[in-house]
A and B are shown apart, each in its own frame.
Chain A
Amino acid sequence: MSLVSIMFYLMAAIALGSALYVAASKNLVRSVFMFFITLFALAGLYVLSLADFVAVTQVVVYVGGILVLILFAFMLSGRESLSGLQQQTNRLISINKLPALLLAVLFFIVLVNVFLKANVDALGWIQQAIAQQNVITPTDVTINNLGINLMTNYLLPFEAISILLLMALAGAAHLSRKEETAS
């Protein structure tokens, strides 16, 4: 068992375990911080699949941006909703959680069956990529190529996503402004 596989199993266990804690926790703030750990473990998984730039972006955007935003929304949405929710979720395994649990578990079984039957490692294009040595190896530097591709091959999706980001920014600012005259 190599070091890479040990790291993979460790990261996968941390990610899945902290995600389960997010799902099961009664304390809301603690579940937000466990989500933080899930995101870090996922960044580690991205590094292990040799996508270091995506991992850094994950840390910067998710941990630096989204998580701070979620904590802000938490603080602004008041204490009474938080305490009201805590006394509501005192019983963890209640009957109204059962359909959700059933649906999630059944969907997981379906997904696992599909993935095991699909045998993705023997797909045609993946075998072809291995034969043509089109596979990223651990010594490659991919960032140069990624930047060039982003500005040539994928310029149209890049521009589209930038316009969408601008629209989302303007929309969020418009939605969360203070209204002077209550309508």
Chain B
Amino acid sequence: MITLTHYLLVSAGLFCIGLYVILSKQNAIQILIGIELMLNAAILNLVAFGRFDKLNNSGQTFALFAIVLAAAASAVALAIVLNVYRRYRTIDPDKVNQLKD
């Protein structure tokens, strides 16, 4: 029998892998992938708990909202990454250290 705790443990693992990717990578796109991993861990929790709400479907509805939110966020973030590359010729966040051009 698969219980809620199993889902929570899987999502804890995904969240921590995402945290490691964000902290250790030196490429803005890989950091974005880490953020998506963390968001997916949160969505997995929403879906797992949403099973116990058949009438209102609150978990699944907000999982859908979170997916849309992640899509919008990543579109804007990738546009920013392209702009940063055009200006600095690098997408290493450590080397982008000037606000003024």
Task: Please report A residues at the B interface, Cβ cutoff 8 Å.
Answer: 2, 4-5, 8, 12, 15-16, 19-20, 22-23, 28, 31-32, 35, 38-39, 42, 45-46, 48-51, 53-54, 57-58, 61-62, 65-66, 69-70, 72-74, 76-78, 80-81, 84-85, 88-89, 97, 99-101, 103-105, 107-108, 111-112, 115-116, 119-121, 125-126, 129-130, 134-136, 140, 142, 145-146, 149-150, 153-154, 157-158, 161, 164-165, 168-169, 171-173, 175-176
Contact = CB atoms under 8 A, between A and B. Distances in A.
27 contacts: A4-B2, A23-B24, A38-B37, A45-B47, A49-B50, A54-B47, A58-B43, A73-B81, A84-B90, A85-B26, A89-B26, A100-B20, A104-B19, A115-B9, A119-B5, A120-B4, A134-B52, A134-B54, A135-B52, A136-B52, A145-B54, A145-B57, A153-B56, A172-B76, A175-B82, A175-B83, A176-B79
A128 B36 CA distance: 33
Given A15-B10, A62-B67, A77 B48 contact: no
Nearest to A98: B24
- Cβ-closest 9 pairs across A and B: A100-B23, A168-B72, A104-B20, A175-B79, A108-B16, A100-B24, A111-B12, A176-B79, A129-B52
A105 B15 CA distance: 11
B12 A74 contact: no
B3 interface: yes
Contacts of A70: 29, 32-33, 74, 78
Contact of A142 (B54, B63, B81): B54
Interface of B: 1-10, 12-21, 23-24, 26-27, 29-30, 32-33, 36-37, 40, 43-44, 47-48, 50-65, 67-76, 78-83, 85, 89-92
B16 A104 contact: yes
Given A66-B71, A100-B23, A172-B75, A39 B40 contact: yes
A51 B71 contact: no
Given A15-B14, A42-B44, A121-B5, A130 B61 contact: no
A20 B37 CA distance: 11
A35 B18 CA distance: 11
B21 A23 contact: yes
